[in-house]
Each structure stands twice: as C-alpha cells, then as structure tokens.
Amino acid sequence: MGAMTTDTTPLPSPAAYAAAVSSAVRAATAYYTDGSTPLGDDEYDALLRAILAYEQEHPDEVLPESPSGKVAGGSVQGDVPHSVPMLSLDNVFSDEELAEWAAGLERRLGRPVAAWCVEPKLDGLAVAARYQGGQLVQLLTRGDGLAGEDITHAAEAVLGLPATLAEPLDLELRGEVLLTTAQFDEANRIRTEHGATPFAHPRSGAAGTLRAKDRPYRIELTFFAYGAVGLDHLDHSALLEALAALGAHTAAGTPAAPLRCADLAQVGQRIAAITALRSALPFGIDGVVVKADAGADQQAAGSGSRAPRWAVARKLAAEHKVTRLLAVEWNVGRTGIIAPRAVLEPVVIDGVTVTYATLHNPADITRRGLMLGDQVFVYRAGDVIPRVEAPLADQRTGAETEIVFPEACPRCEDAIDSSEQRWRCVRGRACQAVASVRYAAGRDQLDIEGLGGTRAVQLVESGLVSDLADLFTLTKEQLLTLDRMGEVSADNLLAAIETARGAALHRVFCALGVRGTGRTMSRRIAAHFGSLAAIRAADADTLAEVDGIGPEKARLISAELLSLAPLLDRLAAQGVGTQVAEPQRTAAVAAEGDGETVGAGPLAGPLTGETVVVTGSMTGPLAALSRTEVNELVERAGGKSSSSVSQRTTLLVAGEKAGSKRAKAESLGIRILSPEEFAELVADHLPSA
C-alpha cells in the first residue's frame, strides 16, 4: 500500500474550493511553525493538487489566501529579510510526472540538461546561516521565503553548523536542520526527565527546539547543507564538495549521498536506491530532490515566485499498511481525559511491529466511520505515533460491529463530560487520584520522601486521601492503620509532608498539575504573580502577560484554575501555597537572555545580571542538590539559568567532568567557578542558609 496515487478528486463547487483552501492553510501553518499538521503528507499534497486544478479551471475565483504559488503555502511570516529569496520546491509524484518535468525544463533551456544531481529530501526545517569573514553571525528560518525568523540563539546546539568556516568568507549557507533518529530518542529521554511531553515526531521536535528560548535543558540537532549564496558559479555537485571543505555538514557521508547522474535513467535508479534505503537511514526523508547540476543550466532556467525551475522534489508516499481493528480501549489520563486507543492485529511498518494506534477522540472515530473488525489503513512515517487513517469500507463482510462509546468513566464509573471533543471524567483529577498524588509528591514538585507509588495506592484505596489537600490532614493514627507502616515510617512521612507545607510557590503550583504548565512555566507564573492568591485572581488576559503564555494557553490555565478552586481553598486552609513573594514582572529582561533562560526574570542578589551555566558533577555544598535545585539556587540569587554556553553566558559553574562546555567557556573568555567557589558566592541563598 506504499504506492502514492496521483488521482485528484475534483472540487465540485466554490464552497468546496473555499473549504479546501481553509484546510490547506491550517495544515501548512501547523507544519511550518511547530512541525505538526492535521493532515498527512499525502492528504495535504492531494488537497493542494485539487486546489490547483480548480484554480486552473476557474481563474476568476482564486482566493487571495490560497496556498498555491506561495512559499510554505503562505502560512508563515518573518521579520528578517533574506538576502536572496529562499524558495520552496515544486513536487512530482510519479516517474511519469518527473519525466514530464524534465522534458519541460529542457524545452525551456532549448537543449538537453548537461547532468543531474540526485539527493535526499530531508524532513526538517530549512534555514539560512549567514557568515561574515567566516564567522557565523545569524541563523534564520525560511519564513515566507522573503523574510525569516531569527533563531541565532539555537545555533550552538546544531551539530554540523560550523561557528567558523575553514576560510574567512562572506556567504550564506542554506540547508536543513533536523533531529536524527538517535537525537530524537535522546531528546525524548531528556524531556521525560524534565517532566515535559515527549515530541510526537522528529520534525515537530526540531521545529519546537529551534524556536525554544526557555528550556532548562539542551537538545542537539543536525544541520545538512545543500546550497549557498555567494558560491553561485559552481555546479551543484561541486558546490556540495566546497561546502564540506568549508566545514559544513552535508549528506555526502550518508547512504543516501548526493549523486551526479548523466541521464534520467540513472536518476531513476538513484531515486529507487534512496527509496529502498529509506527505513534504514538515520534521519527522516519525505522525498528525493532532482536538480540540474550545471550552474549554467540553473541560471538559464531561473526561478518562479515560489520555486526554482531547475529543481523538483520527487515525493515519496507516507507508508501505509492495512490491518484489522480488533478493539478500542478507553484510557483515563492523570487529569481525567478519556482517550480512545485502537488495538490492531500486529503489523510491521518501517521495521516496527505496531499493535496500537491513536484515535485522538470519539469525534475522530465517528468522522472516520470506523467499526470493530474493519480492515483499516494504518500510517506511520518515521517516528510518528501510528494512527488509524480510514476503513476499507468496500471490504466489509457484515460481521463488523459498532464501536461502543463508554457511557460512564471507564475507571471510576462516574459521569463523562462530553461537551468538548476530548471527553473527560467529571471527577477530573480525582478519578486518577493515585497518579495525581504521586506526581505532586515527586522530587521536582513537593519532594515528599516516602510517598512513592505503593504508599500512594494505599492512601487512596484506604480512603484516607482523595486529592493533594488530604495529604496535609493525615494523622499518625491514620497512617498506622496502613499495612507495613510502623511508628518510624509514619513519623518520617508526616515530617516530609510538614516540610512540603512550606514549599516554594512554584513547587506548589507545579504540584497541582495544571494543564498547559510544567516546572519552567510554574516558575514563571510564580515569579510573575508572587502568590497563589494573585494567580487565582488573574483572568486569561492577565495570565497571557506571562512570558510564554499565549491567549489560548491562558484560557486553558484560567479554566483549570477555576475547576481547581475547591482544592485550592482546602490547600489554603492547610497553609499550603500561602507564601507571598514580591512579584517579578521582568519578562522583557528575560527576553534579552539567551535561548535557554529559565524563569520570568531575575530576583535581586549576587548573580543579578548574570547568565549562568552549570555543568559537570557538583561537589561540596552543591553535591546534595539536583540540577533543578541548582537552577532554582541561581534564580534565588538573582541570575538566569541556561543549559548551553554562548556569548551571552557570563558565568560557568564547572564541576567534575565538565567537558566541552568548559572548553567552550574558556575559548569565549567566560568566568569559570568551581562548585565550592560558586557556593561561597551564593552562600546566603543556599537551602541550608
């Protein structure tokens, strides 16, 4: 089922055309901003072809927002002009279409193309890296092709993008930034450790990472150069060699290395070879690029407003497999969200055996018209979570049965709130009290030692605890009724709970598990408002003032806080979260820091104005602190914590095995302190002080 169809269903009316344009623009916006998309590659390509076909037949009805003829579908903007327009590629979807495109190019040239160059179409984000005198000075996204976003803050984490070229040239490298398979796995390991949601797939991970400016951790990406502004006289294959000699990473060292081909027969053979390698490559590709190799041919062919006329992308089908839908499971998340999951007959896709796939929500099931026993398309491209696409309705036997939606919560049997697309148990977090209590007691939240998974289950199942507030009402007599709970254990647990009662505001807020927030955002919110009472009093517009919270997230957080009001009242009655600090509304200051700043802004202290990176194993007074606690120490002392060394870093705390960060700091002349020296500097702000 991997063959791509080029059939296009005609759009029957102006209304259908307008709806198609709207869908395409939404999909393009998602794809080119955060790497996600409501449509698969095949679906988007088919939709765009249908739009183009309609516009060719009805040129007087073309809508101004139509994605046709626009770079990135006209979906994104930028504020830094490109020196030379940064265009997209036109697509072809079959060998026949490729042959037609090549014939058209040769007709335009009035002669045969001298040679072709074939290379993988990397599934990442196009960027432009500007160099002056061989030094990297700016990194931009493609944006709308005329202007892009400045993402220079992310350059240090992009492997293969040299800070200094081998020659002191003024030029602009162009290429793709992506997460390799290994980097994607490592990125999700790091994000999980920091309590962040794993990336859904490499492209969205790369898009989010390049734009992130507030992460307390570093995620590495990889750059592949495929062009340059300033070396335009070279043939393409020679250009790639020149880029590698300058120190830029190219695809030359990969199994899908660019290859110069004498004719279309060789081009076809190379496309087939790269396609066969697809599942074994260490990075994702969604096609193969075919280019006229000679610089003279490229200059003679020129470019249109959206794409060069001398290059085209031979798109590859997203791999689909057919299997049987055996059942639908209904799982309840920590916040009470009820999510359906498809249980499938095992099927191997891209070398991975798939037995489960996402169904998103009940409306998604209804929209796709799925039934138990259906033969269904399952889609998995690269590392994307498998999803059920559609049933093969014409293969139904009559033995298929309707999917039964739950009438009550599958976990607690209480009512379901089905007013939104994502169903939720009316008890919300109370439905998953064990998970909520375990999360709240975690080290980076309230850090309640002795309250692990087994103890949380005991407390909830015994009826002693139904939510976070109940923890602070526990008595020794109640705890002693639990199995394997002795006097010492009870005293220790109560002492840990009492310590948590006075936890810092950002830890208390994080322990609530408010959707749309995590540790970093909790610190920002706490620093911005200064008290839980002020947070509760904030409406959506006020919450949106916090750096990193947009209008949509602000509305979500506001609604969450409203639903948590009874719990917050009980916590306040127990003296939890009642600490008041001076609000630090300094988001503008934070925005001036490097791309990994944590928190909404600095407090006053010995590190005021400092951007601090901590690396290596801590010793001395810092040895007992987790990395999160060291970051909090930096903030208490007035500094901004960063995970990567850059020109904006002012202080490096270098513990044992500091490695490359110390070397880079030394090369940049950044002040370096040992953990003991740093502890002395911030002695008044140490936890024991």
- The CATH number linked to 284 is 3.30.470.30
Residue 197 in any domain: the answer is yes
Cα-Cα-Cα-Cα torsion 141, 147, 149, 155, nearest 10 degrees, comes to 50
Judge if 289 and 325 occupy the same domain. no
pLDDT of residue 252: 92
Q: How far apart are CA 329 and CA 339, in angstroms?
A: 8
Q: Which range, 218-227, 317-326, 331-340, has the best average confidence (pLDDT)?
A: 218-227
Is the pLDDT reported for residue 363 higher than 90?
no
Judge if 387 and 340 occupy the same domain. yes
Give the total number of structural domains in the chain.
5
Tell me the average pLDDT across 627-651: 81
Top-confidence residue, 542 or 605? 542
Judge if 121 and 44 occupy the same domain. no
Residue 4 in any domain: the answer is no
CATH code (residue 52): 1.10.287
CATH code (residue 493): 1.10.150.20
Is the pLDDT reported for residue 173 higher than 90?
yes
Could you read off the pLDDT of 297-321 as tens digits, one per residue?
Answer: 999 999 988 889 999 999 886 666 7
Is the pLDDT reported for residue 163 higher than 80?
yes
Is the pLDDT reported for residue 7 higher than 60?
no
Tell me the average pLDDT across 332-353: 81
pLDDT of residue 257: 93
CA distance readout (Å), 274 to 258, 315, 329, 652: 10, 12, 38, 45
Is the pLDDT reported for residue 107 higher than 90?
yes
Judge if 210 and 293 occupy the same domain. yes
In this prediction, residue 594 has a pLDDT band, given cuts at 50, 70 and 90, of very low
Q: Which range, 37-41, 220-224, 543-547, has the best average confidence (pLDDT)?
A: 220-224
In this prediction, residue 645 has a pLDDT band, given cuts at 50, 70 and 90, of confident
Residue 418 in any domain: the answer is no
Tell me the average pLDDT across 664-682: 87
Count of C-beta atoms within a 10 Å radius of residue 55: 19
In this prediction, residue 30 has a pLDDT band, given cuts at 50, 70 and 90, of low
Judge if 293 and 440 occupy the same domain. no
Residue 131 in any domain: the answer is yes
Judge if 185 and 281 occupy the same domain. yes
Judge if 662 and 629 occupy the same domain. yes
In this prediction, residue 404 has a pLDDT band, given cuts at 50, 70 and 90, of very high
In this prediction, residue 1 has a pLDDT band, given cuts at 50, 70 and 90, of very low
CA distance readout (Å), 473 to 14, 495, 503, 573: 64, 13, 16, 10
CA distance readout (Å), 317 to 94, 110, 125, 455, 555: 10, 33, 19, 50, 38
Could you read off the pLDDT of 182-196 as tens digits, one per residue?
Answer: 898 898 889 878 887
pLDDT of residue 679: 92
In this prediction, residue 499 has a pLDDT band, given cuts at 50, 70 and 90, of very high
pTM above 0.75, yes or no: no
Residue 515 in any domain: the answer is no
pLDDT of residue 472: 93
Which segment of 46-50, 577-581, 657-661 scores lowest on mean pLDDT?
577-581
Cα dihedral sign, 238-239-241-245: positive
Residue 477 in any domain: the answer is yes
Q: Which of 436, 600, 568 lies closest to 515, judged by CA?
A: 436
In this prediction, residue 75 has a pLDDT band, given cuts at 50, 70 and 90, of low
Tell me the average pLDDT across 385-399: 80
pLDDT of residue 197: 67
Count of C-beta atoms within a 10 Å radius of residue 381: 23
pLDDT of residue 3: 36
pLDDT of residue 380: 63
pLDDT of residue 37: 52
pLDDT of residue 378: 83
Cα-Cα-Cα-Cα torsion 498, 502, 503, 508, nearest 10 degrees, comes to 90
Is the pLDDT reported for residue 72 higher than 70?
no
Q: Spell out a b/e string for 240-263, using b for 16 or more CB atoms within 10 Å of the CB, else e.
A: bebbbebbbbbbbebebebbbbee
What percentage of the chain has pLDDT greater than the value 70? 87
Judge if 288 and 365 occupy the same domain. no
* Spacing of C-alpha 648 from chain mean position: 25
CATH code (residue 676): 3.40.50.10190
pLDDT of residue 588: 33
Which segment of 36-50, 104-118, 221-235, 455-469 scores lowest on mean pLDDT?
36-50
| Domain's final residue, options 315, 346, 364 | 315
Q: Which range, 50-64, 100-114, 190-204, 438-452, has the best average confidence (pLDDT)?
A: 100-114
Q: Which residues are catalytic?
A: 121
Is the pLDDT reported for residue 41 higher than 60?
no
In this prediction, residue 2 has a pLDDT band, given cuts at 50, 70 and 90, of very low
pLDDT of residue 498: 92
Residue 274 in any domain: the answer is yes
Pairing of strands 651-654, 671-673: parallel
pLDDT of residue 595: 35
Is the pLDDT reported for residue 207 higher than 70?
yes
Which segment of 510-524, 550-564, 597-611, 653-667 scores lowest on mean pLDDT?
597-611
Is the pLDDT reported for residue 429 higher than 60?
yes
- H-helix or E-strand spanning residue 97: helix 95-109
Residue located via tokens 């679906």: 43
Q: Which of 294, 293, 287, 264 lies closest to 91, judged by CA?
A: 287
- H-helix or E-strand spanning residue 225: strand 221-229
Q: How far apart are CA 290 and CA 282, in angstroms?
A: 21
Which segment of 272-276, 277-281, 395-399, 621-625 scores lowest on mean pLDDT?
277-281
Judge if 104 and 210 occupy the same domain. yes
pLDDT of residue 165: 96
Judge if 273 and 199 occupy the same domain. yes
Residues 6+ apart with CB under 8 A from 86: 71, 126, 128, 142, 143, 145, 146, 148, 174
| Residue-number span of the structural domain to which 464 is assigned | 428-501
Q: How far apart are CA 510 and CA 628, in angstroms?
A: 13
Judge if 164 and 247 occupy the same domain. yes
In this prediction, residue 331 has a pLDDT band, given cuts at 50, 70 and 90, of confident
In this prediction, residue 405 has a pLDDT band, given cuts at 50, 70 and 90, of very high
Judge if 123 and 245 occupy the same domain. yes
Q: How far apart are CA 653 and CA 670, in angstroms?
A: 10
Residue 234 in any domain: the answer is yes
What percentage of the chain has pLDDT greater than the value 90? 35
